[in-house]
Amino acid sequence: MPLFLFVSAALIWGSTWYVILLQLGQVDPMASVTWRFLLAAAILFSWCLWRAERLRFGWRDHGWFALLGACLFGVNYWLFYEMELLVTSAYGAVAFSLVIGMNALHARIFLGKPLEWGAIAGGSVGVVGVAFIFWQELSLSWDQPQAWLAIALGVAATWFASLGNIIGTYCQSKGYSLNSVNAFAMLYGAVIVGAIALISGREFAFVWSVQYVGSLLYLAVFGSVLGFYVYLRLLHLVGPTRGGFVALFIPIVAMGVSIVFEAYRPDLFAALGIVLILLGNVAVLKRRQTK
């Protein structure tokens, strides 16, 4: 089951990189994120009603759901989009790969779990591998004045996402239905992103084109409902540190999608990056088997 969840999360989120490109230039990104999570929340609420899953919670429970939505479906998306307005999304991929170390630290602080130094070491090798995959894009924009601001935004976004990982793990430990939790959290996240967009003067629009509606449905159903379900379930089973390794394999899947649909041809640095990611993961798995 953990392997199935791991592969599913990597395949789903790796493919969303290409699908997100289909939405750019038509509607403001913040508005698209709001529509995405509103639709995802509506789907999950409908599913919960059909399955008669619990939807009545106390105000403290809703406090946790709102915090989860703010971190995992709200603020982190806002910061990532602000970063991508400055530089290429390659910075976001490298920043998000830091989630392994952040998850380990947050799990130690908030959940009392011991630090998994082997996983952190393997994750560090994987972070270097992700940087190598996007080396060409990073080298072209490294000297831009906004590069350091973009890095700060990406790291901050990953920090909020990591907090969301821990909160999601905590909610599952309380026995809450993951579908119910995600339904409320995505609703709160959509409201937060929408409020930030309105306050910052972003224009809300919707394009009734096959490309935009189709990509929105894919991001809502697969990228949100299914993607976050399998990912948060994975964190519950194997822990936030090891579950965070999904972040290292997303760029590999995204690169494969680009090879098929965009005629992308990886260079030597990209191949070396893949090798480093695999070596980091194999080192962790071998250490676990030895123990």
Write out pLDDT tens, residues 235-259: 999 888 888 889 888 888 888 887 7
Q: How far apart are CA 24 and CA 226, in angstroms?
A: 22
Gyration radius of the chain's alpha carbons: 18
Check pLDDT > 90 for residue 124.
no
Closest CA to 249 of 282, 222, 291: 282
Which helix H or strand E contains 238, and what residues bound it? helix 227-238
**What pLDDT shows up at residue 88?**
66
Higher pLDDT, 7 or 26: 7
Check pLDDT > 60 for residue 287.
no
Closest CA to 250 of 78, 89, 37: 89
Neighbours of 206 (CB within 10 A): 13
- Grade residue 286 by pLDDT with cuts at 50, 70 and 90: low
**What pLDDT shows up at residue 283?**
62
Q: How far apart are CA 19 and CA 257, in angstroms?
A: 10
Q: Per-residue pLDDT averaged across 82-99, rounded?
A: 79
Tokens representing residue 191 in the block: 């409201």
Check pLDDT > 80 for residue 285.
no
Check pLDDT > 60 for residue 61.
yes
Say if residues 37 and 191 touch (Cβ distance below 8 Å). no
Tokens representing residue 54 in the block: 């619990």
Q: Per-residue pLDDT averaged across 181-194, rounded?
A: 96
Which residues fall within 8 angstroms of residue 74, CB to CB, at 6 or more apart? 188, 189, 190, 192, 193, 196
**What pLDDT shows up at residue 86?**
78
**What pLDDT shows up at residue 178?**
94
Share of residues in the chain with pLDDT > 90 (%): 45
